Amino acid sequence: MVLARRQLFVGLALLTVLALCVGVWLANRHGRADVVTASGTIEVVESDLSPKVQGRLIALRVNDGDAVRRGEVVAVLESVDPALNVEQAAANVSSAEQQVTVAESRLAQAGENLSVE
């Protein structure tokens, strides 16, 4: 009787281990449960591009629907010499200083005209 009970217990334990192994195999035979596997083409409707520098667009090297890779040049911008921007800014500062000088002299003249009357 004790031997039959022991055999029954060992048989149930083996059956449980077998059922567990079959369950794990069934769950993993198509890959992980949290991963979806599919094939096809992804189409992007809109993509934002931003250059590292500002400039006028000279050439566009890709067309709508073309495949591109990371780092590929898709557009060419007009090259601008940064020294020109500095020279232009300096000229703008000089012009503004002259306008301040003119405004101050007109203010002084208006003050003199006011006190004379």
Average the pLDDT over each of 21-25, 57-61, 100-104 and give the range with the smallest value: 21-25
**79 or 102, higher pLDDT:** 102
Q: How far apart are CA 65 and CA 44, in angstroms?
A: 9
Of these ranges, 7-11, 58-62, 65-69, the one predicted with the greatest mean pLDDT is 58-62
pLDDT of residue 98: 95
Q: Tell whether the model's pLDDT for residue 11 goes beyond 70.
A: yes
User: What's the alpha-carbon Rg for the chain, to the nearest Å?
Assistant: 40
